[in-house]
């Protein structure tokens, strides 16, 4: 076996202790950790896949799904929820034509995530576009912000 990652992985062959830097490199290359990549890592390091998943899912930095070019995070924490956070999320999903259960647009332009609290509750409801925080959101404002990207 020698897939597209063999260039990255070959120097680490058999080095079980290098799992985290290897995961970082692979994610740096692919943007996320797809299943095939996990199998290749398992093969090169000589570790069971279950162990690799266990370690990778422990760290928030690792992602198992491809991300959109832009990430829209909509807060569903208590303060935001009572101020209409759910309606903001619905407006975002509708504006991006996201099918139920999907978190990424078909063109991979946007990923949508629900977040428990951004720690900016005074601005509720909150939406974060990449790194920009937008507070006091309304569904109309959410649609308008999305249309700028």
Which positions lie near ligand FES, rule CB under 6 A? 75, 77-80, 117-118, 120-121, 124, 126
To the nearest whole angstrom, how small is the minimum distance from the Cβ of residue 136 to ligand FES? 11
Nearer to ligand FES, 98 or 117 (CB): 117
DSSP-based three-state secondary structure for 98: coil
Nearer to ligand FES, 12 or 113 (CB): 113
To the nearest whole angstrom, how small is the minimum distance from the Cβ of residue 76 to ligand FES? 8
Query: What is the end-to-end Cα distance of the chain in Å, rounded?
Result: 41
To the nearest whole angstrom, how small is the minimum distance from the Cβ of residue 114 to ligand FES? 11
């Amino acid at each position: 076996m020698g897939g597209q990652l063999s260039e990255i992985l070959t120097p680490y062959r058999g080095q079980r202790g290098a799992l985290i830097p290897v995961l970082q490199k692979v994610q740096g290359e692919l943007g996320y950790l797809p299943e095939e990549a996990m199998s290749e890592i398992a093969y090169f390091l000589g570790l069971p896949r279950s162990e690799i998943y266990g370690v990778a899912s422990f760290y928030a930095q690792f992602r198992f799904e491809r991300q959109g070019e832009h990430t829209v995070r909509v807060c569903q924490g208590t303060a935001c929820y009572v101020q209409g956070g759910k309606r903001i999320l619905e407006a975002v999903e509708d504006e991006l034509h996201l099918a139920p259960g999907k978190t990424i647009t078909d063109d991979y332009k946007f990923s949508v995530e629900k977040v428990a609290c951004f720690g900016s509750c005074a601005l509720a409801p909150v939406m974060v576009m990449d790194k920009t925080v937008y507070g006091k959101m309304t569904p109309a404002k959410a649609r308008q912000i999305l249309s700028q990207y």
